[in-house]
Amino acid sequence: MSERIRINYTIKFEKMQDEIKRLFNSVIDDIDCASNTYTVPSDVLSTGALEVIKELRSFAYDTEQSLADIETLIKSYLHYTTQPSSEQVTPDDSIDKLSNLKTMLESLQLPDGVPNEVAD
């Protein structure tokens, strides 16, 4: 099992499919290479066979981790694309909302007429 490190990076939304394909192809290439590298030892009841098993298990673990990462990315992408789009707030909307809030606060007064305070 090789050391792994988690990294974060950003890509343009429209490049997501290309990035997933790149990661997927990398895993497929590794599997293809492994299938040409590993062979059944001539003496299957030996320490050499145990070493091959150890290497294969490490490779399988690394492959599983890579596939889990790809799976997480795809699930995140699908979640993002299936959620209703949030309301886009423009600066004019924000100014209008703040102005309305200010007007509401100015209209609130305590019974004794103290401005800018809210009664219980």
Q: What is the pLDDT of residues 51-100, one digit of tens each?
A: 999 999 999 999 999 999 999 999 999 999 998 876 555 667 778 778 88
Helix axes 47-82, 16-37, angle to 10 degrees: 170
Structure-block tokens of residue 56: 């294969």
Read off the pTM: 0.67
Here the tokens at position 104 are: 């509401």
- Per-residue pLDDT at 64: 97
The average confidence (pLDDT) of the chain is 87
Sorting pLDDT into bands at 50, 70 and 90, what band is 103?
A: confident
Residue 86 pLDDT: 66
- pLDDT score recorded for residue 38: 96
pLDDT of residue 97: 79
DSSP conformational letter for 88: P
pLDDT for 111 beyond 70: no
